[in-house]
A = this chain, B = another copy of it.
């Protein structure tokens, strides 16, 4: 399993990888939208800000149906680069890993089965009133996590929520974690200034200082977070008491990690972050630097490599577009682990290219 990079806390990362090797996972995808994600220049998860409401439901339709139903084609960045859901779908197909959608605050609902937790779309964090019912969503998600932990060997939990690194930054700052200039971006040029300005506007609207909500993660989320966070954190809190959980995402995961660490740090012994090489080698962000302020949790990264792709839309991933999302890193790690390394980065690229060319030509994969 050479194509899994261990970049933080290597001994623990190895133990985690061993625990999930040849085991049966469930991929759970938390899906949400916020008004924060529609601030111009914040997110590349959609060709334009207004369409970001359609990106998460389209992502999960692609995963489960092999094509999108709520939009034509597939979600793309403003430059036309395809959604990472294409890569996640390829990993899940190759390794026959089931996927479950979770409504973590969608405005547009997908045409597939999904788990309902009562989450609502997030508001603009600059209002200081970002998430309506964080406690309720957390409680329901915890129950769902407990249930799912009784069905499979472990969970891989991912997310699709445009603008998620900005809400993550705001929650991290509220909880006293130095994340200025450290969260990642789906764009090659990380708009740190805009993100910091947005996050700080949220804190200022409530007169909250850095670290003011270190012990109140639910208030931090309610004020300046997003609805994906309590859904994701609840799933981890419920499941990790019984089975390993791979938190599949980039720097957004750190806000969820901070919540879990404040609510029940014990479960973290069963938790790892699973991401991509594009995130851990990213010079414009610092996942490790944030994680190590919170908890001693390993980071695994899928060594996905599209540099030799024949498609420019995939090659662009190597230039720092997209990087993460829809659990692309974690699902690839799970596919590698389930097949004990039979799925390699070369196999992955081949499958992604196959699916990409079919989708570009308008076919169902």
Q: Of the 9-residue stretches A111-119, A322-330, A343-351, which lies at the interface with chain B? A: A111-119
Any chain B CB within 8 A of the CB of A309? no
Complex alpha-carbon distance, A143 and B111, angstroms? 11
Chain B: which residue is nearest A144 at the CB level? B113
Q: Given the complex, which residues of B lie within 8 Å of A64, measured CB to CB? A: 143, 147
Q: Given the complex, which residues of B lie within 8 Å of A141, measured CB to CB? A: 113
Q: Given the complex, which residues of B lie within 8 Å of A114, measured CB to CB? A: 115-116
Complex alpha-carbon distance, A148 and B26, angstroms? 10
Complex alpha-carbon distance, A147 and B115, angstroms? 13
Known: A112-B143, A143-B64. A151 touches B26 (CB 8 A): yes
Task: Out of B26, B109, B117, name the residue touching A113 (CB < 8 Å).
Answer: B117
In A39-80, the 8 Å CB interface with B consists of: 64-65
Complex alpha-carbon distance, A156 and B286, angstroms? 46
Any chain B CB within 8 A of the CB of A152? yes
Asked if A113 contacts B143 (CB within 8 A), the reply is yes
In A85-121, the 8 Å CB interface with B consists of: 96-100, 103, 109, 111-118
How distant is A164 from chain B, measured CB to nearest CB, in Å? Answer: 22
Asked if B112 contacts A113 (CB within 8 A), the reply is no
How distant is A327 from chain B, measured CB to nearest CB, in Å? Answer: 15
Q: Given the complex, which residues of B lie within 8 Å of A148, measured CB to CB? A: 98, 151
Any chain B CB within 8 A of the CB of A123? no
Q: Given the complex, which residues of B lie within 8 Å of A26, measured CB to CB? A: 150-151
How distant is A285 from chain B, measured CB to nearest CB, in Å? Answer: 33
Any chain B CB within 8 A of the CB of A195? no
Any chain B CB within 8 A of the CB of A277? no
Any chain B CB within 8 A of the CB of A182? no
Q: Given the complex, which residues of B lie within 8 Å of A65, measured CB to CB? A: 143
Chain B: which residue is nearest A149 at the CB level? B98
**What secondary structure prevails in chain A residues at the interface with B?**
mixed
In A140-180, the 8 Å CB interface with B consists of: 140-141, 143-144, 146-148, 150-152
Chain B: which residue is nearest A100 at the CB level? B147
Asked if A150 contacts B96 (CB within 8 A), the reply is yes
Asked if B98 contacts A147 (CB within 8 A), the reply is yes
How distant is A94 from chain B, measured CB to nearest CB, in Å? Answer: 14
Q: Given the complex, which residues of B lie within 8 Å of A144, measured CB to CB? A: 113
Chain B: which residue is nearest A140 at the CB level? B113
Asked if A140 contacts B117 (CB within 8 A), the reply is no
Q: Given the complex, which residues of B lie within 8 Å of A151, measured CB to CB? A: 24, 26, 98, 148, 151-152
Q: Given the complex, which residues of B lie within 8 Å of A146, measured CB to CB? A: 98
Name which of A113, A140, A141, A143 has the most chain B CB atoms within 10 A of its CB. Answer: A113
Complex alpha-carbon distance, A65 and B111, angstroms? 29
Q: Given the complex, which residues of B lie within 8 Å of A24, measured CB to CB? A: 150-151
How distant is A132 from chain B, measured CB to nearest CB, in Å? Answer: 15
Q: Given the complex, which residues of B lie within 8 Å of A116, measured CB to CB? A: 103, 109, 113-116
Name which of A26, A96, A112 has the most chain B CB atoms within 10 A of its CB. Answer: A112
Q: 30 interchain pairs (CB within 8 A)?
A: A24-B150, A24-B151, A64-B147, A97-B150, A98-B147, A98-B148, A98-B150, A98-B151, A99-B147, A100-B147, A103-B116, A109-B116, A111-B118, A111-B140, A112-B140, A112-B143, A113-B115, A113-B116, A113-B140, A113-B141, A113-B143, A113-B144, A113-B147, A114-B116, A115-B115, A115-B116, A116-B116, A148-B151, A151-B152, A152-B152
In addition to A111-B140, A113-B147, 16 A-B residue pairs with Cβ atoms within 8 Å of each other are A26-B151, A64-B147, A98-B148, A98-B150, A98-B151, A99-B147, A100-B147, A103-B116, A109-B116, A111-B118, A112-B140, A113-B115, A113-B140, A116-B116, A151-B151, A151-B152
